[in-house]
Amino acid sequence: MECRRLEITIVSANNLEQVRLFGLKMNVHARVFIGGLPEKEKRTPTDTHGKRNPVWNYAASYTIIESMLQNCNTILDVHLYCTSKSGDKYIGQVNISLKELFDAAGSPPP
């Protein structure tokens, strides 16, 4: 079974929707996973300073089975949440096709 390595860095988010009532400070983290598999989830630290413009510079790496790259339905998901004592509040998400991502990057080195 042939595999490839995916290394990504979740750098930042900008101008997020305010999801806390009364303009309370937002503490934001990202959850990153592939193909909807929660066991593959990685989580950034919570940014406590950026408010609506969090910064993480969080590096994550995954081993990807080559067959996953042939399927347009294999998605890299990045979900953003505001952390609070009453539970995490969903802010939004970004979904990227792994096939399109790897196709845009070109062929792997020999």
Domain boundaries, the chain: 3-106
From CA 76, how far away is CA 51, in angstroms rounded?
Answer: 25
95 Rama sector, left if φ>0, alpha if ψ -120 to 50, beta otherwise:
beta
Share of the chain above pLDDT 70, in %: 95
From CA 51, how far away is CA 26, in angstroms rounded?
Answer: 5
Q: What average pLDDT score do residues 2-20 get?
A: 91
| pLDDT over 60 (residue 13) | yes
Confidence at 2, pLDDT banded by 50, 70, 90: confident
Q: What average pLDDT score do residues 7-27 get?
A: 88
What kind of architecture, by CATH, is found in domain 3-106? Sandwich (2.60)
| pLDDT over 60 (residue 59) | yes
Q: What average pLDDT score do residues 5-24 get?
A: 88
pTM of the model: 0.86
